[in-house]
Structure 1
Amino acid sequence: MDLLSGQPHWFYKNGAMHAYPALTENLTAEIVIMGGGITGALLAWHLTQAGFPVVVLEKRHIGMGSTSGSTALLQYEIDTMLTDLIDLVGEKNAVRSYLLCVEAIHKAREIVDSLQVKTGFSLAKSVYYASKKDDLPLLEKEYEARSKIGINVEWWDQAELRSHFPGIHKSGAILSHDAAQVDAYALAHALLQECMQKGARVYDTVEITDIRHETAGATLVLDNGNIVKTKKLIVAAGYESQKLISHNFVRLHSSYAIVSKPMPEKKELWYENALLWESARPYLYLRTTEDNRVLIGGKDEMFQSAIKRDKLLNRKARELEKNARSMFPDLPFVTDYTWCGTFAETEDGLPFIGGVKEHPNTWFALGFGGNGILFSIIAAGIITDLIAGKKNNDAAIFSFERLGKS
């Protein structure tokens, strides 16, 4: 699948950070992780920390799938609002899902603090504003629901919002104190490098062309003819994982992003460099980067055709730059990099974590949606527990069975 086109900022910023070998022989492994993006890297890190030997197989270069195109806003807010999620999955599971995402932000901080290299991580605030006046009652209700379960939020009326963001002429917003941002591409490499120091084996430019599920594990056939036998297989191949499951669990769509040239030196480009996003669907979102750029994304289209997606890139980039200039007219926004990619969403906005009956000895970590990195942290914890034989009380929330399919 052609996941990305254009110039994903993180790759151009970092370059080819590390080289990984190709797998040129048959192999036997305890655990194989299929996918070397941020999800696979987080899984490898958690499992390695727990003492498990892992092998990571990536068909591209490490981090060069969706990870290099991730805009990496770490927000506990699931694409489905808490009030709507309660109606979809029940209050208990909806509340727990939101609180797990809050916890995942701080787990992300603990992880990056433990690494030896910088990954562009910083804690931040998040501002979720009403795109139009009709959305205001929904946001007020959402604010009350979040506040009720202990999430650290404030309500901003129009005057308060304008005082902090004069260029955003909207009627109200929720300010969240729990959010963060990161360079997902750099983080994936940093995690895998640490795993390798502890004995993990990581291979890229090697594709699994066939998976034979067996009673005691799985046999993986590679595109170069080699065979990998494993007792446990974890699929962390993102949107491409859908082809391995007979039921259709996701809707694929196309999204666009641009990043500016570095702004003149100033400590803050706007109020505390908060993450910004809106209530409209599809939504616009903005963040800053550690080298003083503005990143804006959105303008999603509800199709998955890479040809159609790529034809719109120049037009979408112009529209995004116009949005950025309108919101922050005092910033000299000049587009530096533009890219687009295929992304996915689920029916309820939650990820799929766990196994399916048709594939024994196999676990899936599919962290879809706007906060896929946080979902991946949650998935890594759950799957590590399951492989270790520990009960995980949250596993059922994200199981494939929750929608009556398995």
Structure 2
Amino acid sequence: MDLRTESPYWLMKNGFLYSYPSLSQSLTIDVVIMGGGITGSLIAYHLAKAGIPAIVVDKRKIGMGSTCASTALLQYEIDTPLAELAEYVGVHNASRSYLLCLEAIGKIEKIALEIGSKAGFQRRQSFYYASKKKDVPLLEKEFKLRKALGIDLDFWPKEAIETHFPFSAPAALMSRESAQIDAYAFTHELLQTAQRMGTQVFDDTAITQLTHHSRGIKLVTEHGDVINAKKLIIASGYESQAYLSKKTVDFNSSFAVVSEPFSQVDIWYKNCLIWETARPYLYMRTTDDNRVLVGGKDEPFYSPNKRDALTKQKATQLAKAFLAHFPDLPFRVDFEWAGTFAETRDGLPYIGTNSERPHTFFAMGFGGNGIIFSLLAAEIIRDALAGKANKDAKIFGFER
């Protein structure tokens, strides 16, 4: 599956951070993690800490699928507003989902500190503004619901927005608990740490055959090597859908640009994450080297040729959208890219087992909160493999 254009910013910035071998012999292991992106790396790290023997295999170089194209906003806010999510999954599960995402930000921060990460984790506030006046009641409702859960946020009227930003909006929510990171660099750091705890990592290792039997899984690589495992974890990002007959996601094309570096460290108010109520939404963040990342202008299709042909046009539109908000900032596009983006009907991930694939766990952390969902998947799957009950697992299960 063609997941992205050739030159996403994080890949150009970091290059090939570490080398990993391809699998060149058959082996037997407790757990195989198929996918070496941010999802697979978080799972590998959690299993390694729990003492569960595992290997990671990826058909590409590590982190070279969607991970290096991720814009990596870390938010408790799910693409589906809390009030709307409650209509899909019930008030309790919707509320719990938001709180789990909130807690996950702190857990990622803790991991970053534990491993001595240099992947640019930074705490940020999140500014979620009404694109149109008709969206103000939505924000008012969201404010009340989130506040009732104990989430730390403020409701900003138009006057407050105009005081803090050079643009106006009818209203906004300013949440204090968000963050940002370089997902590509973080993926390598997690896998390097997992390797030191005994996890083996293989890239350039394509799995061409899966056989499920009574005692586990047999995986065959393109070169004929065989992996026998008790359990398989499919953490292949948007390509995970290929292992299920029932459609679980819709695929879109998304676009992003990164500016040349700015001279000032404080580019806008507290360098907060910025996004809006419109769908598809525009979003903005800064980077740890004083650049601005702008994303959005999604298109509802999966067609690599069509997507790639639109990239230059979309980059121009994103730059214009930024200048419409910050007309006095000299925004010059330095990097532009496009990628595949998938979302579920309710905005929640699919995590856990599926009867169609025995001895197999799926970690399908789709939507705009993919990294946060990946952290939740790592915890849920680790607990299942360790024989520990996880009371939140059903919220994200396939049976919902």
- Asked if 1:108 corresponds to 2:99, the answer is no
Question: What is the match of residue 388 of structure 1?
Answer: 386
Question: What is the match of residue 84 of structure 1?
Answer: 84
What amino acid sits opposite 1:213 in the alignment?
H
- Asked if 1:332 corresponds to 2:330, the answer is yes
Question: What is the match of residue 212 of structure 1?
Answer: 211
- Asked if 1:305 corresponds to 2:303, the answer is yes
Q: TM-score, normalised by structure 2?
A: 0.99
How far off its partner does 1:54 sit?
Answer: 1.1
Question: What is the match of residue 130 of structure 1?
Answer: 130
Distance in 2, Cα, partners of 1:215 & 1:337: 49
What amino acid sits opposite 1:146 in the alignment?
R
How far off its partner does 1:160 sit?
Answer: 0.3
Question: What is the match of residue 172 of structure 2?
Answer: 173
What amino acid sits opposite 1:171 in the alignment?
P
Distance in 1, Cα, partners of 2:16 & 2:194: 18
Distance in 1, Cα, partners of 2:335 & 2:54: 35
Q: Pick the aligned partner of 1:321 from 319, 322, 333.
A: 319
Q: Percent identity between the aligned chains?
A: 54
Question: What is the match of residue 62 of structure 2?
Answer: 62
Kept in 2, the 8 Å contact 1:6–1:338? The answer is no
What amino acid sits opposite 2:58 in the alignment?
E
What amino acid sits opposite 2:341 in the alignment?
F
Kept in 2, the 8 Å contact 1:352–1:400? The answer is yes
Question: What is the match of residue 250 of structure 2?
Answer: 251
Distance in 2, Cα, partners of 1:358 & 1:135: 41
The equivalences for 1:29-40 within 5 A come to 29-40=29-40
Question: What is the match of residue 48 of structure 2?
Answer: 48
Distance in 1, Cα, partners of 2:329 & 2:215: 59
Counterpart secondary structure, 2:307: helix
How far off its partner does 1:116 sit?
Answer: 2.7
Distance in 2, Cα, partners of 1:74 & 1:239: 19
Q: Deviations over 1:133-180 (max 9, x none)?
A: 1111111111111111111110000000111112x2211100000000
Poorly superposed stretches of 4+, deviation over 3 Å: none
Distance in 2, Cα, partners of 1:389 & 1:197: 24
Counterpart secondary structure, 2:220: strand
- C-alpha root-mean-square deviation of aligned residues, in Å? 0.7
Q: Deviations over 1:322-381 (max 9, x none)?
A: 011111122111100000000100000000000011111100001000010000001100
Distance in 2, Cα, partners of 1:73 & 1:186: 14
Question: What is the match of residue 365 of structure 1?
Answer: 363
How far off its partner does 1:250 sit?
Answer: 0.3
Kept in 2, the 8 Å contact 1:344–1:368? The answer is yes
How far off its partner does 1:6 sit?
Answer: 3.8
Identify unmatched segments of 5+ residues in structure 1: none
Distance in 1, Cα, partners of 2:130 & 2:165: 13
Q: Deviations over 1:300-332 (max 9, x none)?
A: 000011111111101000000001111112211
Question: What is the match of residue 24 of structure 1?
Answer: 24
Distance in 2, Cα, partners of 1:6 & 1:219: 33
Kept in 2, the 8 Å contact 1:32–1:57? The answer is yes
What amino acid sits opposite 1:243 in the alignment?
A
